[in-house]
Structure 1
Amino acid sequence: MSSLNTLFGGLELKSPIIVGSNSQTASIDKIVEFEKAGAGAVVLKSLFEESIAREIAANVSDEHPEANDYISYFISEKVVGDYLSLIAEVKAKCSIPVIASIACHTDGKWEEFAKRIEQAGADALELNVMSLSTSRNYTPGDFEKLHENIVSNVKAMVRIPLIVKMGANISNPVALCSNLYAKGASAVVLFNRFYPTEIDIDKLTFTSGNPFTSAADLSGALRWTGIVSAAISQLPIAVSGGVDSYRGVVKSLLSGAYAVEVASAIIKQGAAWITEANSGLKSWMEGKGYKTIADFRGAMNATDTENAEKLLRTQFLKYFSEVH
């Protein structure tokens, strides 16, 4: 009988399938449903730095500047307080690991929030660092340094595992992952996804693009997971973005991931997707004769020279010459 148990960033999971942060992971009833369906862990809906800042900006007033500090404090406390209550309530009803999530792009007050999140009972904290660097005065490497600073500052305040969810706009994921591990990160997630922007050519307005990922989005994360897991074998990785069936789970594990974060497929198909993916993974393992995930994890990563050659290939020339 094959076992789906795995370790990820110090967390013991009964399945490598982690429900990624999304609107449904703010619902206690939904999270209970995900646990019953076989999820290994859940990432709570993110606490967004920009949302707090936007709400504060909408409520402060130039007419009463003396009240602005109080308003800022009140709004921050209300948002954070609600989040801490969610953590405590989920922990009271669920036994799977609960991962809190902070979506941040500065190294501001997150150390303080992180400590309170730990005290509320979260099993781990995911730091979701995303932003676009557009200044002509930008110094290459500053964005990567921001990741390291945030991890260092938060690590000094908490003992729970820190998981860093990175965007794909990193010049060298291997170097950054190595530095994050040295700073105290327990695991990384590859990759976050930018908000999709579309243009309505009739109304000449910006609209939201497709918010969901598909299997076509998976290849980039598989490539870098295969490369990073070979270069930094002691750093657990989770794949995110494009896992839409058990096959995506298998591919991720073969690439060297310890787990996957899934949101789009679960939003579209419900908690039943988790059960089906676990069943498909287990059937595949039994068909191959694998007893544990460790038996095949990383079998297709860059540790093997031939695998490395394929993962490092960036040009289409050879592919098209073979096709035509």
Structure 2
Amino acid sequence: MPNLEVNYMGIKLKNPVIAGSSGLTASIEKIRTLEEAGAGAVVLKSLFEEQINYEAGSLIMNHDYPEAEDYIRNYTKSNSVENYLSLIEEAKKVVSIPVIASINCITASDWVSFSRRIEEAGADALELNVYYLPTDKFMPPADFENIYYDLVSKVTGILKIPVAIKLGNHFTNLLGLVDRLYALGARGVVLFNRFYEPDIDIDRMKLTSADVFSNPSDLRHVLRWTALVSDKVSLVDISASTGVHSWEAVVKQLLAGAKTVQVCSLLYKSGLKEAGTLVQGLSEWMEKKGFDSVDAFRGKMSYRNIPDPSVYERSQFMKYFSGIH
């Protein structure tokens, strides 16, 4: 039987399938079920900066005494933080797979000190979900990226556990960004985040949310960048995310150079047991192909290892098909 073990940011996983951050990783019961199903690790549901601000605001609106505002905000923030730390501590007691914490933030203030408490609670690693929407047309692009650099440098400067950065796919120079993040201490990148996307209900003329789940076609964009980043910034570990709906998708991302693969939408649509289906499919494919370990084939289809690397660079239909006669 093939050995599915992988090393992600210095952490040993029994296999490369990770249950991504979501409501499915927000309770001990589901985390235990994911381990039993076969997941190699879990990323806990993110603690959102916006979530804490919203909770505090809701309580304040219903309070008659303005002077209580600071107390209520601090109380709500403290409780949200304490609940999250308790989840980490309890998860580490009941499962043997790595538990990766997640913070969704856009500042380098309170969250820096909070990250140390996550480490103390026993998290094996920290995934920073950083997203800043640049709505100021006068803001230089460099200032936008500096937000990421500032946060990463401060967090990695005080932690001993490895830190991964979950990124969106809209950057001027993604390779340069990842290279800089690695230099600042990040040991992994998650490609890519699936952000909230608005839609408009034309009958009610109201803003609504688009489908929050990924679909299999989303895999292709991630596949390209996995292949590029794994070669151009080879020291950083990649966790491929978005569009993973089958064991074949897992194999493809590993062939492109990913160390691990995160799955979320599939688990919502088909159940937590699908984590095991992905692992089984990967194992059977490896056995069929004669690979005794993941490292034996990981990256075989990355940017530099295919006959024509420019295939990963072609983004225009005409350029790609011009060679067909």
TM bin, normalised by shorter chain, reads over 0.9
The share of aligned pairs that are identical, in percent, is 47
- Unpaired runs of at least 5, structure 2: none
Aligned partners of 2:320, 2:170: CA distance in 1, in Å?
Answer: 25
Q: For residue 33 of structure 1, what is the aligned residue in structure 2? A: 33
Q: For residue 316 of structure 1, what is the aligned residue in structure 2? A: 317
Partner amino acid, structure 1, of 2:146? K
Q: For residue 24 of structure 1, what is the aligned residue in structure 2? A: 24
User: Could you say what secondary structure the match of 1:141 adopts?
Assistant: helix
Aligned partners of 1:52, 1:68: CA distance in 2, in Å?
Answer: 14
Q: For residue 119 of structure 1, what is the aligned residue in structure 2? A: 120
Deviations 1:108-167 (A, max 9, x none): 211111011111111111000112111111111222211111111111221111011011
Q: For residue 88 of structure 1, what is the aligned residue in structure 2? A: 89
Aligned partners of 2:322, 2:205: CA distance in 1, in Å?
Answer: 41
State the 1:305 CA deviation.
6.3
Deviations 1:33-79 (A, max 9, x none): 11011111000010001111222233346975543222221111011
Q: For residue 163 of structure 2, what is the aligned residue in structure 1? A: 162
Contact 1:168 1:193 in 2 (8 A): no
TM-score, L = length of structure 2? 0.95
State the 1:323 CA deviation.
7.6
Is residue 2:61 matched to residue 1:45? Answer: no
Q: For residue 287 of structure 1, what is the aligned residue in structure 2? A: 288
Aligned partners of 1:263, 1:307: CA distance in 2, in Å?
Answer: 32
Q: For residue 128 of structure 1, what is the aligned residue in structure 2? A: 129
State the 1:271 CA deviation.
2.1
Change in 2 beyond 3 A, CA 1:233/1:171: same
Contact 1:301 1:307 in 2 (8 A): no
User: Could you say what secondary structure the match of 2:262 adopts?
Assistant: strand
State the 1:202 CA deviation.
1.0
CA RMSD of aligned residues (A): 1.7
User: Could you say what secondary structure the match of 2:211 adopts?
Assistant: coil
Aligned partners of 1:288, 1:186: CA distance in 2, in Å?
Answer: 30
Partner amino acid, structure 2, of 1:222? L
More deviation in 203-212 or 74-83?
Answer: 203-212
User: Could you say what secondary structure the match of 1:107 adopts?
Assistant: coil
Aligned partners of 1:143, 1:32: CA distance in 2, in Å?
Answer: 39
More deviation in 46-55 or 243-252?
Answer: 46-55
Change in 2 beyond 3 A, CA 1:200/1:12: same
Contact 2:300 2:306 in 1 (8 A): no
TM-score, L = length of structure 1? 0.95
Contact 1:22 1:263 in 2 (8 A): yes
Is residue 2:28 matched to residue 1:57? Answer: no
